[in-house]
Amino acid sequence: MVVLTSSWVPETVNVDRPSAARVYDYLLGGGHNFAGDRAMAERLASVLPAPDMARMNRGFLRRAVLFLVEQGIRQFLDLGSGIPTVGNVHEVAQQVCPETRVVYVDYEPVAVAHSELLLEGNDLAAVIQADMREPEAVLGSPTTKRLIDFSEPLGLLMVGVVQFIPDSDDPWGMAARYRDVLPAGSYLALSAMTSDSAPAGMADAVRMCGFSQDPIHPRTHAEIVRMFDGFELVAPGVVYTPQWRPERPDDGRDDWKRSNMYAGVGYKP
What is residue 40's predicted lDDT score, i.e. its pLDDT?
Answer: 92
- pLDDT per position as a tens digit, 88-143: 999 999 999 999 999 999 998 888 988 898 899 999 999 999 999 999 999 999 99
Least confidently predicted of 80-84, 102-106, 178-182, 231-235: 80-84
Residue 268 or residue 31, greater confidence = 268
pLDDT over 90 at 248, yes or no: no
The reply to whether 36 falls in a domain is no
Question: Which CATH number fits the domain that encloses residue 110?
Answer: 3.40.50.150
The reply to whether 41 falls in a domain is no
Q: How confident is the model at residue 250 (pLDDT cuts 50, 70, 90)?
A: low
The reply to whether 68 falls in a domain is yes
Question: Which domain range does residue 231 map to?
Answer: 49-267
The reply to whether 141 falls in a domain is yes
Identity at 115, one-letter amino acid code: S
CA gap 77, 161 in Å, rounded: 14
Q: What is the DSSP string of 60-111?
A: HHHHHHHHHHHTT--EEEEET--S--SS-HHHHHHHH-TT-EEEEEE--HHH
Express as a percent the part of the chain with pLDDT over 70.
Answer: 93
Tally the domains of the chain. Answer: 1
pLDDT over 50 at 183, yes or no: yes
Residue 209 or residue 16, greater confidence = 209
The reply to whether 21 falls in a domain is no
Contact of 19 with 213, CB cutoff 8 Å: yes
Instruction: For strands 261-267 and 187-193, give the pairing.
Output: antiparallel
Q: How confident is the model at residue 1 (pLDDT cuts 50, 70, 90)?
A: very low
Contact of 110 with 9, CB cutoff 8 Å: yes
- pLDDT per position as a tens digit, 8-35: 555 556 667 888 888 888 999 888 888 9
- pLDDT per position as a tens digit, 68-89: 999 999 999 999 998 877 789 9
The reply to whether 24 falls in a domain is no
Instruction: Please give the mean pLDDT across all residues of the chain.
Output: 91
Tell me what the mean pLDDT of segment 50-66 comes to. Answer: 96
